[in-house]
Amino acid sequence: MITVVDYGMGNLRSVVKAIESCTMDVRVSSDPASINDSEALIMPGDGAFGAAMVNLRDRGWIDPIKDFIRNNGKFLGICLGYQLLFSSSEEFGHCEGLDIIPGKVVRFNLPTGMKVPHMGWNEVDLVGYSKYMKGIPSGSHFYFIHTFYPVPDDRSWVVGEADYGGKFACIVGKGNLLAAQFHPEKSHDVGLKIIENFVRTV
C-alpha cells in the first residue's frame, strides 16, 4: 500500500491521480498509524514550512515518518514535502525541520528583474544517481512554484540541480528516498515517469 500523507497542507488529489495511473494500491491518510502497513510514503505539500511542522507535530506524524525513512522505507517528498526533510528553514524566522537531511531552507536572493516565486517550467540537470530517475534524461523540464529552496550541507545528497539566479538543489536522494522541489505530478510525461519509477521500483 502506498500512503499519501495528509497533514493539512495542500490539495492531494493531483498526486493521487498520478499514482493511480500506475496502481490503484494507494490511499490518502491523516492517521500516522497507517504507516505500519505502508510499503511506501509520499509527502506532498504547499504552504508555509512552520505551519507544516506544527501540523505534523500536532497530528503525530513526525516520529513515524522519521522512523520509516531511517528504516529505509520508500519515501517520496514533493515541494514542501521536500523542504521539510531538511534541518531548518528561515521562512518567517527560524523553524526546525525533520532533520533527515542536514541543511537549511533559504529564500531566493535574486538579481533585479527576476521574480519570486520561481514559477513555471525549468530545466533540471542530473548530477547524481537515484534509481527513481531511471529513463529520465538530464536537461528535462519540470514544473516549479516556490519562494524558498534547500541548501544541503552534504553534496552527496544532490541528484538534480536547476538554475534560477544561480544553481540550486532541486532533487535529493539516497537509497529508497527521493525528494523534489518541483511537482512531478504536474510535469507531464517526464514527471509521471518519476512517479512510475517510484511505484514500480523495488
Domains and CATH numbers, the chain: 2-200 (3.40.50.880)
Residue 79 annotated among the catalytic residues of the structure: yes
Catalytic residue among 39, 79, 90, 95: 79
Closest CA to 9 of 89, 77, 102, 72: 77
Counting Cα atoms < 13 Å in the Cβ hemisphere of 193 gives 12
Catalytic residue among 91, 161, 185, 196: 185
Catalytic residue among 146, 170, 183, 196: 183
What are the pLDDT tens digits along the chain (202 aa)? 999 999 998 879 999 999 999 888 999 999 999 999 999 999 999 889 999 999 999 999 999 999 999 999 999 999 999 999 999 999 988 999 999 999 999 999 888 888 999 999 999 999 999 999 999 999 999 999 999 999 999 999 999 999 999 999 999 999 999 999 999 999 999 999 999 999 998 5
The cell for 81 is 514535502
Contact 115, 68 (CB under 8 A): no
Residue 185 annotated among the catalytic residues of the structure: yes
Predicted TM-score of the model (pTM): 0.95
